[in-house]
Amino acid sequence: MSETQLKEDLAKVIEEMEQKCQENPDSIMAHHHLALVYRKAGRHNDAIRELKRCLEIDEQSAEAYINLGAVYFELGKLDEALQANKMALLYAVNPAQAHTNIGLIMQQKGEQDKAIDAYTKATHHDPNLAFAWVNLASAQIMAGNFAEALAAAKKAVELDPDFPMTHNNLAVAYYYSRDFQSAKNSIAEASRRGYPVDPNFIKAVNEER
């Protein structure tokens, strides 16, 4: 599908969803779906408006808070993103996603210890959430905790071997654990699955014996 066709399709969906919101102004589902389409179209301010409308309808909508946090994160508004996800923690039945998002925000802020804490909480709430494990591995690497990083990276690959990033992060963890052959094998697997492995990292691994 061409970019022009995609834009035309999104515009049509937006028009239809806007009409539904006009017909059902108190439908949280209609406003939420419109917000998601706005976000996909890059209309972040419109998405924020619709998500806030969702929260006017239901101030305890964890999903609305999580998506609001995601939009703020994309805009680089980390404090607002953090606040939205903290609100999601108050109402989510399973707060694993909110904790994972908080981990991403803390990593972006360069606060690795807080990121590790958030990701660890996410894995406690949902041990099968591969995205939390792969990011926990990344944060542990940044913090210099290589044994913990390797354990987290292995868990991520176990849970979602089709996710290319898991193999890349496992390669990095193996590298810092000085298991260079395993690092090479994981690089090959990440590349095979389409992950753009950093050429400088590949060079560094290949230079090791």
Count of beta carbons in the 10 Å neighbourhood of residue 2: 7
SS3 132: helix
Tell me the whole-structure pTM to 2 decimals: 0.90
Confidence of residue 1 (pLDDT cuts 50, 70, 90): low
Confidence of residue 5 (pLDDT cuts 50, 70, 90): low
Residue 197 in this model has a pLDDT that exceeds 90: yes
**121-154 pLDDT, tens per residue?**
999 999 999 999 999 999 999 999 999 999 999 9
pLDDT at 3: 63
SS3 177: coil
- State mean pLDDT over 33-58: 96
**153-178 pLDDT, tens per residue?**
999 999 999 999 999 999 999 999 99
Cα dihedral 91, 94, 99, 101, rounded to 10, equals -90
Backbone angles phi, psi at 43, to 5 degrees: -95, 75
SS3 136: helix
Count of beta carbons in the 10 Å neighbourhood of residue 163: 18
User: DSSP readout, 161-196?
Assistant: TT-HHHHHHHHHHHHHTT-HHHHHHHHHHHHHTT--
Helices then strands, each counted (H, E), the chain: 12, 0
* Residue 181: Cβ-neighbour burial (10 angstroms; 0-12, 13-18, 19+): exposed
- Average pLDDT value for the chain: 95
Residue 2 in this model has a pLDDT that exceeds 70: no
Confidence of residue 209 (pLDDT cuts 50, 70, 90): confident
Backbone angles phi, psi at 113, to 5 degrees: -65, -40
- As given in the structure block, the two tokens for residue 105 are 């925000």
pLDDT above 70 covers what percent of the chain? 96
pLDDT at 10: 80
